[in-house]
Amino acid sequence: MLGDEVGDWYHRPVVAVLYALICLIWGSTWLAIKVGLVGMPPFLGAGLRFLLSAAVMGLVLVARRRRMELTRDERVCVLSLGLLVFWLDYACVYWAEIHISSGLTAVLFSTMPLMTALLSAFWTRSETLSAGKVAGILVGVVGTALLFWPHERVGTMQALGMLSALLGSLCAAVNLVITKKHGRHSDPFVVNFLGMVLGTGCLLLMSAALEPWTTVAWTRSNLLAMLYLSLFGSVIAFLAYYYLIKRLDATVVSLSTLVIPIVALALGRVFLHETVGPASVLGILMILAGVGIAIVPRWQPAPRRKMAAALDRKGACP
């Protein structure tokens, strides 16, 4: 009994620090993407980021002696994660940040839980839409509509950028639904590594076909941003996250969905002087409120094993 108390005393500050760290890291990746795109085509920037991340993650797997043999369900998860998240999702997010602010991209991407709820209810029929989820989806839709509402600050490319961010969110939601079905017994480290390798290849091929590499202008800023995204955003935060999911209640984990875009908005305002108009502020608040309303039912206590298994299948964050 005393050993358990000592263990809890030791883990609590570690968990608190790591949770704050992943919220800060994943909240700051949107800013880092924006900085890294200066002088760098979007698909090439994303591809190089994950090329380095995959190399580091591969070394971690070798050190931990993880097996690389895949079951049929694990192969499905690798294809889903590689094609939908590390390729299409990040291609959309990086392209979106060329045309809209980093904070707005993060807010639009935070609609993923709302899209996941709809897909789970009407596609796989693995979940039902509770009153809270329906209300959250409706509030989120109204908030999104306000962002697209015609006003002088929104041009054609800005609207396309917002659509691209939403498309990236949809890709991540589809992947999450697929991995919920097929990833029950998968090794998250191996699946994410192989998915990252697949997505990296697709991004680099896409970049080679569509982007002129001769225009790349390496600077200290975009190089440091890429290193930060690769090491902190894709490796360190990932390892910290899988440490936390076995020790945190679902309530706290759900809150990160709201904390991350708020951090992104604040950092974009401070470092890049990003601003939004009154209508956009209202839209952003309604989207965050909708996500908050929708995830309230998930805050009920759950057995630790069930929670850890469900969270192990969560999609990747930018």
pLDDT digits (tens, 9 = 90+) for 253-263: 667 778 899 99
Model pTM score = 0.88
- How wide is the angle at C-alpha 196 spanned by C-alphas 191 and 198, nearest 5°? 100
Q: What's the rounded Cα separation, in Å, for the pair 173 and 158?
A: 23
- Tell me the pLDDT of the chain averaged across its residues: 85
Phi-psi region of 222 (alpha: psi -120 to 50; beta: other; left: phi over 0): alpha
CB 294 within 8 A of CB 117: yes
Mean pLDDT calculated for residue range 285-297: 85
Burial tier of 126 (Cβ tally within 10 Å: 0-12, 13-18, 19+): exposed
Mean pLDDT calculated for residue range 158-184: 92
**Confidence tier at 252 by pLDDT (50, 70, 90):** low
Q: Report whether pLDDT(300) > 80.
A: no
CB 190 within 8 A of CB 74: yes
Instruction: Determine which of 105-109, 118-122, 242-246, 255-259 has the lowest per-residue pLDDT on average.
Output: 242-246
Residue type, 196: M
Task: Please tell me the predicted confidence (pLDDT) of residue 91.
Answer: 98
Q: What's the rounded Cα separation, in Å, for the pair 223 and 218?
A: 7
**Confidence tier at 239 by pLDDT (50, 70, 90):** confident
**Confidence tier at 57 by pLDDT (50, 70, 90):** very high
Q: What's the rounded Cα separation, in Å, for the pair 103 and 132?
A: 26
* Per-residue model confidence as pLDDT tens digits over 113-143: 899 889 988 998 878 888 888 999 999 999 9
**Confidence tier at 186 by pLDDT (50, 70, 90):** confident
152/160: higher pLDDT: 160
HEC string for the chain: CHHHHHHHHHHHHHHHHHHHHHHHHHHHHHHHHHHHCCCCCHHHHHHHHHHHHHHHHHHHHHHHCCCCCCCHHHHHHHHHHHHHHHHHHHHHHHHHHHHCCHHHHHHHHCCHHHHHHHHHHHCCCCCCCCHHHHHHHHHHHHHHHHHHCCCCCCCHHHHHHHHHHHHHHHHHHHHHHHHHHHCCCCCHHHHHHHHHHHHHHHHHHHHHHHCCHHHCCCCHHHHHHHHHHHHHHHHHHHHHHHHHCCCCCHHHHHHHHHHHHHHHHHHHHHHHCCCCCHHHHHHHHHHHHHHHHHHHHHHCCCCHHHHHHHHCCCCCCC
Q: Report whether pLDDT(79) > 80.
A: yes
